[in-house]
Copies of this chain bind each other. A is one copy, B any other.
Amino acid sequence: MGYKIGEVARKVGCKVETIRFYEKAGLLPEPSRSAGNFRLYSDSHLEQLRLIRHCRSLDMSLDTIRNLLKLRLHAAENCREINDLVDAHICRVEAQMKLLTHLRGSLQKLRSQCSGPEASGTCEILLELSGCECHGAGVGS
């Protein structure tokens, strides 16, 4: 008979609307319907939804997950591609980390510019922000 959408949502821990959204986005196949037009999900739907949600918790994009789902159709043959997909995602995550590390450095340096309001009559942080060379200050035309 299948699970109704609310039950599924409770099981995997997401909102009902999210499940309908995945269906419209082509990530979850359309389930069968009850006499009263309610969606009725099978265990394989549940499994696939769990996969999607877990991938999302790993911050994979829906597009990446779509690719993964395609590969899943022939999991054994596509083992290599699946590994590649995960590796590519790890790379994205590491790139983000590098960016954030750089950012934190810039912010700490910025933060250290302030020597208190008595020193210059203003807050030096603002001077730094609006007078930066990287956004065109002091560059003729």
- Interface residue ranges, A against B (CB under 8 Å): 11-13, 46-51, 53-55, 57-59, 68, 72, 75-79, 82-83, 86-87, 89-90, 93-94, 96-97, 100-101, 103-104, 106-108, 110-111, 114, 116-117, 121-123, 125-126, 129-132, 134-137, 139, 141
User: How far apart sit A123 and B13, CA to CA, in the bound complex (Å)?
Assistant: 25
Whether the Cβ atoms of B129 and A79 lie closer than 8 Å is: no
User: How far apart sit A75 and B104, CA to CA, in the bound complex (Å)?
Assistant: 23
A129 (CB) vs chain B CBs: closest residue: B51
Identical copies of this chain, number = 2
Whether the Cβ atoms of B75 and A122 lie closer than 8 Å is: yes
CB distance from A67 to the nearest CB of B (A): 13
Whether the Cβ atoms of A125 and B47 lie closer than 8 Å is: no
Whether the Cβ atoms of A104 and B97 lie closer than 8 Å is: yes
Q: Which 5 A-B pairs have the closest CB atoms?
A: A51-B130, A79-B117, A75-B122, A76-B117, A79-B123
CB distance from A48 to the nearest CB of B (A): 7
A121 (CB) vs chain B CBs: closest residue: B76
Query: Which of chain B's residues have a CB closer than 8 A to the CB of A76?
Result: 117, 121-123
Whether the Cβ atoms of B86 and A93 lie closer than 8 Å is: no
User: How far apart sit A94 and B111, CA to CA, in the bound complex (Å)?
Assistant: 15
Whether the Cβ atoms of B135 and A53 lie closer than 8 Å is: yes
